[in-house]
Structure 1
Amino acid sequence: MQLLASLFLPTYPDPPGPKVVSNAVAVARQLDAMLDTAVINVDIPDVSNALSSFLLDLPATIREVEATSRSRGKALLDAVAADAARCGVPLTRQELKAQPALIGETAAKEGRYFDLCLVGWTRDDEATRMTAEEVVFSSGRPTLILPGERDVGVLGHVVIAWDGSRVAARAVADAAPFLERASAITIVTVTDEKVLPSQDVAERLAQGLAVRGLRAKATSIQTGGKEIGIALQEHAVKIGGNLLVMGGWGHSRLRDFVLGGATEGILSNLRLPVLMSH
């Protein structure tokens, strides 16, 4: 059965980083996946009144913003089509609309119809981060967060952040397509952040993967006073990891996310592609 992946590209207030499209196509190619690309254009309600129209010409401003959003969306879809054709990746495309505050929610709801969600990440772009958060926590699907400023290459060395928790177990299961294609797998536990269920949790996971024909190395690290998300990423990069797999801890209350330390560290400063499940 072919894997179905969906790439979400918000076009407001700024487009995603320049490498998100090519990185997503490259990942779809590695997974032999069909890629659906959805641009999310902004739809701003007309809340003008006679005074605001006279002073600001608000309706004209709204039309201009929406036109810019649609133009960016078309350019992104054209770029995806060109990359997918070059790489031989089967592609479908769609245009969605959402009010500014509902862009992430729109992406999350659409993502439920696919096996894997892909979102971009750009430094100091709060809208990009909010979209990624919403997709991770509300889509019910694993979400691959891709850097938008550099090429990610082959996701061959997979690093699993493991603490024996429910969300970590979910992430490992969701990472099966990547693990099956991995050239190396490293399981990392952090020993100074919280109490682990036992001292051999990484070794037990390695044994379970071995039964499935996947060889994995178990190791442990300490944060050294750093945020756990930063420590995990730094270690993954240090050992040549191309993909970090982890559970996303957090919840939403009235659309305000309260994130766990590891999740916060990942979404505040992404260092490499991260597959996150909740």
Structure 2
Amino acid sequence: MSFKDVLIALTTYPQPTPPSAVDDAVDLAAALGPKVSAIACEVKINVPGSLLGRRFLNVPGMIAGEAKKSATHAQQLLAAFQAAAEKSGVFQERILEQCLTSEVPEVLVEYSRLRDLTIVPMPERDYLDQWYAESVIFGSGRPTVIVPHERKRSGSFALDTVIVAWDFSRAATRAMADAMPILEKAKRVCVLTVTKEKAIDTRRSGAELAKHLARHGADVVLDEVDAKGRSIGDVFEAHVTYRNADLLVMGAYGHSRLREFVLGGATKSMLTRPPSPIFMSH
């Protein structure tokens, strides 16, 4: 199995995905080998406002101006994506949608369900982009790669070192299985098990996973790291730096409550401040 059909989700409002992040997303997709499409939504802003506000602040004019800004960003982003994808030989399709700001997550989820993988460029500590990413991760049923806007490494994306965060859970197992096409391509796969953070109730864990991955041709290294009182997110971030990893593979933990996502500690930390591209499955 390999990824054949990948989607990049681009943000148009209020702050557009920067051109450098578009290039990074295309670069990552090209390293995986498939054809890639991108989607951007022209958003319509729906602000009820008071009659007084509409009279003195020209709310309709302000809304129209913001919608025009989003439409301009959408065209610019899709053009930048197409140029980068054609240069890398991976261009497939550009998709332009129109919807309310509140409908963007639903649109992204619907398109993501029809793709092998969705790539979401994301800045640090941005609520809106995190909301979009969470929606795709937990709603699409397909794997998602989060690509930080501020890239920590220079040069083209490579699959030299991939870390698999492993705790023998269902979510970690799903992520590992979904990422298998990547793990088979990687030069080295580091299986990271964090100790003294939570109990792993089995003896058939890291070593058995290493055997399984080796049967897929992966060169596996077992890394067992003591949490030493640190949060799981801090351990992951430190290990990505230590191994100079190109990608972190991990299960996404969370559930929806009153249309808001209640995230596990590691998932929340990685989405808030991704230290590298992160492959997530739920």
Pick the TM interval, shorter chain.
over 0.9
Deviation of 1:34 after TM superposition, in Å, equals 1.2
Partner amino acid, structure 2, of 1:45: N
Q: Residue 246 of structure 2 is aligned with which of 224, 242, 247?
A: 242
Aligned-partner Cα distance in 1 for 2:119–2:258: 25
1:231 match: 235
Aligned-partner Cα distance in 2 for 1:230–1:140: 27
Aligned-partner Cα distance in 2 for 1:94–1:103: 13
For the residue of structure 2 that corresponds to 1:204, the secondary structure is helix
Partner amino acid, structure 2, of 1:134: S
Q: Deviations over 1:127-149 (max 9, x none)?
A: 11111111111111100000112
Deviation of 1:62 after TM superposition, in Å, equals 0.8
Q: Residue 259 of structure 1 is aligned with which of 256, 263, 268?
A: 263
Contact preservation (8 Å) 1:144, 1:275: yes
Aligned-partner Cα distance in 2 for 1:268–1:196: 26
Partner amino acid, structure 2, of 1:173: A
CA 261–46 in structure 1, closer or farther in 2 if over 3 Å, else same: closer
Aligned-partner Cα distance in 2 for 1:24–1:200: 36
Gaps of 5+ in 2: none
Deviation of 1:48 after TM superposition, in Å, equals 5.6
Contact preservation (8 Å) 2:116, 2:142: yes
Deviation of 1:30 after TM superposition, in Å, equals 1.2
Aligned-partner Cα distance in 1 for 2:51–2:197: 57
Name whichever of 191-200 and 109-118 sits farther off.
Answer: 191-200
Partner amino acid, structure 2, of 1:20: A
2:206 match: 202
Deviation of 1:98 after TM superposition, in Å, equals 2.8
For the residue of structure 2 that corresponds to 1:101, the secondary structure is helix
The correspondence of residues 111-150 of structure 1 with structure 2, limited to 5 A, is: 111-150=112-151
Contact preservation (8 Å) 1:36, 1:91: yes
Aligned-partner Cα distance in 1 for 2:253–2:32: 26
Q: Deviations over 1:142-175 (max 9, x none)?
A: 0000011227521321100001111101001110
Q: May I ask how many residue pairs the two structures share in their alignment?
A: 278
Name whichever of 123-132 and 140-149 sits farther off.
Answer: 123-132
> What percent of counterpart residues are identical?
36
Please state if 1:213 is matched with 2:217.
yes
Aligned-partner Cα distance in 2 for 1:73–1:14: 11
For the residue of structure 2 that corresponds to 1:7, the secondary structure is strand
CA 66–40 in structure 1, closer or farther in 2 if over 3 Å, else same: same
For the residue of structure 1 that corresponds to 2:280, the secondary structure is strand
Q: TM-score, normalised to structure 1's length?
A: 0.94
Deviation of 1:100 after TM superposition, in Å, equals 2.1
Gaps of 5+ in 1: none
